[in-house]
Amino acid sequence: MRKYILPSLRLTAVLMVLLCVIYPLIVAFAGSFSAGNGGGEKISRNGKVVGYALLGQSFSRPEYFWGRPSAVDYNAAGSGGSNKGPSNADYLKQVSDRVDTLLKYHPGIQKADIPAEMVTASGSGLDPDISLQGANIQIKRIAAARNVDERVIAQLVVAHTEKPVLGLFGPTSVNVLKLNLALDDLSDKTN
């Protein structure tokens, strides 16, 4: 019995040091090279934190870009999906209501033009980005609400479009918070 217990205890001690001390230190060190030094990229305006680049927020006013819906009402502490499948009647009604809302505020688009991420929540409920198509379908509404030329809004979208890493990894996306802050900056310049 002693033959098995001592090696097991040694292995446990080595793994505890490796996995509870060394590995977290390596991850913390690597994180210190990322935006926000591993604490997330805080976005500030006038000395006040207005959001985080990697957390979605709710925007519902017509003069702002709308992000992906959230199953957790954008609560980072309760991150998660709804776990409702495509056969769930409540889920289908919720998606249908979101489609109707988009069609109401964007009369020039067709149902087929609406990207899925604009009417379905993500697995985390906190997606900060939308697709380029999701941003483009909103340009007309925002331009009308802000009384700005659509081309100016389209240029902002292009300027805030994030390409895949190395042209290969990940989708082309637009960060909704950063784009909406750029819209506010644009309004400040024209006023």
Residue type, 172: T
- This prediction's pTM: 0.76
Given a cut of 80, whether residue 10 has pLDDT beyond it is yes
Provide the CA 158 distance to its chain's centre, in angstroms.
Answer: 17
173-175 β-sheet, strand order:
129-130, 173-175, 161-162
* Concatenated DSSP letters of 111-166: GGGS-GGGTS--SSS---EE-HHHHHTTHHHHHHHHT--HHHHHHHHHHTEEPPBT
Burial class (CB in 10 A: 0-12, 13-18, 19+), 36: middle
pLDDT band at 161 (very low <50, low <70, confident <90, very high): very high
156/161 Cα distance (integer angstroms): 9
Q: CB of 54 within 8 A of CB of 128?
A: yes
What does each C-alpha distance from 103 to 106, 114, 150 come to in angstroms?
A: 5, 9, 19
Mean pLDDT, rounded, for 22-26: 92
> What residue ranges do the domains of the chain occupy?
1-33, 41-190
- For 78-130, the pLDDT digits (tens) are 777 777 778 888 889 988 999 999 898 888 888 988 998 898 887 777 888 89
- For 33-77, the pLDDT digits (tens) are 776 676 677 777 888 887 777 788 888 898 999 988 888 887 777
Given a cut of 70, whether residue 189 has pLDDT beyond it is no
